[in-house]
């Protein structure tokens, strides 16, 4: 008896066996990119010399770098539009919406595979699509027709029972999982949702859960394609895309987790991690300064209509700034038709673009020491743009009730209409442009900020470098390559971007690398969690980083390190981490012996001691690393 994940994987398997921890290769049907990662992905695709994408569908979205403070972002948008037109890619222009919301509405299909250069790509798994976040180079390879390689995950069943009570939302389901499992509890796993509660969960609610599965470190999350999916696709005018998909009766899973929705309470992720979860009841009366509602997690029509129901006839507290960003132009048009947009404005909300916006630090940073409630997916230190702010992740219901009161409020105590309301049927794809029918006539537009991809050298067989930074647990890609309005415009200019690497951990880190001709990074558990941004590997590669030694890696970041020729090493004995200090000189001999063994000996020349590290990489991974990265490897094949 097969579960749903196995069925989709089996239908797309190119190489390998569906056995846990085995390397498998999958045929990819669809890809998506967003502008913060897309420019580099398409530069890499161009470098491969492929005349047209080979996927069934590829879409380029502009939703991150829309704050046009200077020419850089606008230049990137022009490049992205021209590349899409030339190479057979659909282009969703700025203002059309957040990639995950729009892709769910207009393109994702049950039973298809999708990879995207954004860690929240699993949002589309809400309708039975196997959607996985990946680095930009992996997406470029998929567009070029290459299969996507990954380690076969453990398949975890999450069985949902009962009903969500008044004031409790699907956001609380995923926060409960984070409370139980932590931000590394899903590494190496696919979460497949089953149970009698599914018939009561809409696609929008499922999308919230699938989206934030990324915060567990999961490869992806999968929901069945059922009558709820059928209703959603019909609403989108895409009934022909519906296919019923579900697990077999008595299907096998590697693990089962049960959640009784009847007993769930409103929850909040407290600073500075999505798994630092408390009940809203515990936080009641805590004064707040800002509320931000939106992001790819909670900006669908149903979420915002619940917010409108709570705000109807009310005004936000004088100490609170409320901003709302609808997830797509379609959602915004529905809010206009239902009168919800007027409700928001009358309540005192500020309406933002249909973009990621504050979620990636692109505006709306809280005040000094401010408390901000956000319906987003991440509250990593510094991500909001204000280092001293306290960022809490909550449901739209908690956010709206608290905005009115001026402090944390348990939405179960607030009387509002929380039944699903009539949803207008509005479909308008006029801001999605198909590729040119005459690609040979399309000229690629490249602004002065768009620089060539830095080249790497092949990895030396012996590495003798200093530890240029030593870090702790759960270092995110936001720590490594920060987001925000100051940094994001340089995503296509790695030389400039590299000057911001680890800026909140070690000022002028890039100068330390320059002075020491690169080096080695040392960290503890779950290094590289969070965003899929390959810049967190590409910029360190540019600075001469040759290896990262840690206690464990996040999945996407490890793949990105491999793609850019940086050796991912794990302490055999975790206590050896404590023996290393910054600027210790480490010597790693005979790296190529990894083809025949999994471990290497590292000599700490500064302290005259040694320790062992392991490298859990396939032969194919090692080929990429030794070549100095995937692009070098591909060039060498020609």
Kindly state the average pLDDT of the residues 470-490: 88
pLDDT at 628 over 80: yes
Distance, CA of 592 to CA of 519 (rounded, Å): 19
Kindly state the average pLDDT of the residues 597-602: 95
SS3 sequence of 458-523: CCCCCEEEEEEEECCCCCEHHHHCCCCCCCHHHCCCHHHHHHHCCCCCCCCHHHHHHHCCCEEEEC
Residues 299/326, Cβ–Cβ less than 8 Å = yes
For 442-453, give one letter per residue: b (16+ CB within 10 A) or e.
Answer: beeebeebbbeb
Q: Which residues pair with 13 in a beta bridge?
A: 26
Task: Quickly list H helices, 543-637.
Answer: 555-563, 619-627, 630-637
Edge-to-edge order in the sheet of strand 13-15: 13-15, 23-26, 148-151
Kindly state the average pLDDT of the residues 627-631: 92
For 23-59, give one letter per residue: b (16+ CB within 10 A) or e.
Answer: bbbbbbbbbbbbbbbbbbbbbbbebbebeebebebbb
- pLDDT value of position 600: 96
Pairing of strands 189-194, 154-161: parallel
Q: Which residues pair with 225 in a beta bridge?
A: 245
Kindly state the average pLDDT of the residues 567-586: 97
CATH number for the region 463-637 comes to: 3.20.19.10
Pairing of strands 390-393, 567-571: unpaired
Residues of the chain above pLDDT 90, percent: 86
Chain Cα centroid distance, residue 410: 29
Q: Distances from the Cα of 568 to the Cαs of 300, 563, 564, 565, 592, in angstroms?
A: 38, 11, 11, 9, 14
SS3 sequence of 73-110: HHHHHHHHHHHHHHHCCEEECCCCECHHHHHHHHCCCC
From 99-103, 532-536, 623-627, the region with the lowest mean pLDDT: 532-536
Helix (H) or strand (E) holding 47: helix 35-47
Distance, CA of 351 to CA of 365 (rounded, Å): 15
pLDDT in tens, 158-208: 999 999 999 999 999 999 999 999 999 999 999 999 999 999 999 999 999
Superfamily name with CATH number, domain 267-413: Aconitase, domain 3 (3.30.499.10)
Evaluate the omega torsion of the peptide bond into residue 272 and state whether it is cis, within 30 degrees of 0: yes
- Cα-Cα-Cα-Cα torsion 50, 52, 57, 62, nearest 10 degrees, comes to 90
Q: In terms of pLDDT, which residue wins out, 65 or 480?
A: 480
- CB within 8 Å of 231: residues ≥ 6 apart: none
Q: Which residue has the tokens 């699907």?
A: 170
Region of residue 313 (phi > 0: left; psi between -120 and 50: alpha; otherwise: beta): left
Kindly state the average pLDDT of the residues 222-236: 97
Kindly state the average pLDDT of the residues 325-350: 97
pLDDT in tens, 426-464: 999 999 999 999 999 999 999 888 888 888 999 999 999
- Asked if the domains 4-263 and 267-413 are classified in one and the same CATH topology, the answer is yes
Distance, CA of 326 to CA of 333 (rounded, Å): 10
Q: Which of 128, 303, 294 has its CA nearest to residue 221?
A: 128
pLDDT at 27 over 70: yes
Distance, CA of 233 to CA of 428 (rounded, Å): 15
- CB within 8 Å of 158: residues ≥ 6 apart: 177, 191, 192, 193, 194, 195, 256, 257, 258, 259
- pLDDT value of position 533: 85
| CA triple 97-98-102, angle to 5 deg | 70
Sign of CA dihedral 59, 198, 411, 346: positive
What are φ and ψ of residue 480, in 5° steps?
Answer: -70, -55
Instruction: For the chain, give every domain's residue range.
Output: 4-263, 267-413, 463-637
pLDDT in tens, 103-131: 999 999 999 999 999 999 999 999 999 99
pLDDT at 638 over 70: no
Q: Which residues pair with 602 in a beta bridge?
A: 588, 611
Residues 159/140, Cβ–Cβ less than 8 Å = no
Residues 455/632, Cβ–Cβ less than 8 Å = yes
Q: Which of 529, 480, 478, 483 has its CA nearest to residue 178?
A: 529
CATH class of 4-263: alpha beta
Number of residues that this document lists for the chain:
638
Region of residue 544 (phi > 0: left; psi between -120 and 50: alpha; otherwise: beta): left
Chain Cα centroid distance, residue 610: 37
Q: Distances from the Cα of 163 to the Cαs of 264, 280, 341, 399, in angstroms?
A: 9, 19, 29, 21
pLDDT at 486 over 90: no
Q: Distances from the Cα of 522 to the Cαs of 528, 529, 531, 628, in angstroms?
A: 12, 15, 20, 20
Farthest CA pair distance, the chain: 72
Kindly state the average pLDDT of the residues 406-414: 97
pLDDT at 73 over 90: no
Distance, CA of 140 to CA of 318 (rounded, Å): 48
Q: In terms of pLDDT, which residue wins out, 601 or 36?
A: 601
pLDDT at 560 over 80: yes
Residues 327/299, Cβ–Cβ less than 8 Å = yes
- pLDDT value of position 575: 97
Q: Which residue has the tokens 């800026």?
A: 503
Q: Which of 157, 149, 154, 156 has its CA nearest to residue 132?
A: 149
Q: Which of 436, 297, 269 has its CA nearest to residue 358?
A: 297
Distance, CA of 523 to CA of 468 (rounded, Å): 11
């Amino acid at each position: 008896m097969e579960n749903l994940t196995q069925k989709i994987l089996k239908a797309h398997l190119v190489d390998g066996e569906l056995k846990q921890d085995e390397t498998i290769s999958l045929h990819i049907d669809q890809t998506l990119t967003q502008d913060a990662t897309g420019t580099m992905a398409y530069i890499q695709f161009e470098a491969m010399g492929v005349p047209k994408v080979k996927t069934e569908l590829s879409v380029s979205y502009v939703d991150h770098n829309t704050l046009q403070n200077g020419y850089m972002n606008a230049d990137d948008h022009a490049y992205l539009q021209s590349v899409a037109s030339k190479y057979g890619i659909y282009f969703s222009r700025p203002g059309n919406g957040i990639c995950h919301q729009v892709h769910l509405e207009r393109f994702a299909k049950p039973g298809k595979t999708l990879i995207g250069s954004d860690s929240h790509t699993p949002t589309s798994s809400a309708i039975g699509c196997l959607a996985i976040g990946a680095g930009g180079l992996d997406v470029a390879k998929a567009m070029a027709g290459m299969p996507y390689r990954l380690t076969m995950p453990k398949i975890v069943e999450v069985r949902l029972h009962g009903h969500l009570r008044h004031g409790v939302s699907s956001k609380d389901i995923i926060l409960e999982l984070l409370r139980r499992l932590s931000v590394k509890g899903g590494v190496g796993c696919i979460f497949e949702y089953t149970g009698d509660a599914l018939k009561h969960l809409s696609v929008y609610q499922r999308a919230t859960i699938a989206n934030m599965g990324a915060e567990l470190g999961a490869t992806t999350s999968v929901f069945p394609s059922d009558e709820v999916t059928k209703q959603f696709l019909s609403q989108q005018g895409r009934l022909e895309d519906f296919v019923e998909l579900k697990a077999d009766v008595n299907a096998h899973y590697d693990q089962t987790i049960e959640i009784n929705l009847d007993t769930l309470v409103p929850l909040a992720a407290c600073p500075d991690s999505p798994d630092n979860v408390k009940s809203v009841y515990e936080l009641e009366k805590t004064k707040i300064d800002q509320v931000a509602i939106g992001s790819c997690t909670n900006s669908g029509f149903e979420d915002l209509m619940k917010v409108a129901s709570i705000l109807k006839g009310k005004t936000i507290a004088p100490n609170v700034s409320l901003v709302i960003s609808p997830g797509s132009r379609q959602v915004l048009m529905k809010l206009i038709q239902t009168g919800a947009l007027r409700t928001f404005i009358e309540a005192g909300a500020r309406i933002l673009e249909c973009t990621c916006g504050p979620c990636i630090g692109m505006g709306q940073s809280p005040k000094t020491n401010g408390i901000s409630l956000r319906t987003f997916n991440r509250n990593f230190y510094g991500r909001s743009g204000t280092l001293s702010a306290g960022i809490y992740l909550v449901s739209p219901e908690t956010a709206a009730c608290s905005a009115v009161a001026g402090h944390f409020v348990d939405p179960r105590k607030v009387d509002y209409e929380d039944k699903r309301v009539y949803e207008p049927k509005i479909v308008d794809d006029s801001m999605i442009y198909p590729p040119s029918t005459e690609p040979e006539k399309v000229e690629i537009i490249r602004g002065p900020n768009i620089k060539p991809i830095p080249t790497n050298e092949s990895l030396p067989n012996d590495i003798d470098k200093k530890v240029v930074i030593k870090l702790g647990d759960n270092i995110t890609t936001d720590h490594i390559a920060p987001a925000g309005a100051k940094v994001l415009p340089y995503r296509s200019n790695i030389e400039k971007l590299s000057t911001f690497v680890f800026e909140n951990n070690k000022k002028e880190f890039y100068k330390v690398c320059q002075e020491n001709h690169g080096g080695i990074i040392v960290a503890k558990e779950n290094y590289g969690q969070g965003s899929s941004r390959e810049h967190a590997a590409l910029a360190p590669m540019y600075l001469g980083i040759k290896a990262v030694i840690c206690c464990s890696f996040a999945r996407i970041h490890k793949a990105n390190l491999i793609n850019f020729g940086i050796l991912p090493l794990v302490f055999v004995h975790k206590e050896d981490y404590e023996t290393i200090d910054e600027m210790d000189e480490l010597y790693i001999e005979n790296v190529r012996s990894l083809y025949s063994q999994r471990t290497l000996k590292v000599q700490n020349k500064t302290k005259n001691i040694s320790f062992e590290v392991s490298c859990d990489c396939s032969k194919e991974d090692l080929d990429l690393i030794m070549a100095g990265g995937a692009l070098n490897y591909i060039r060498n094949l020609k």
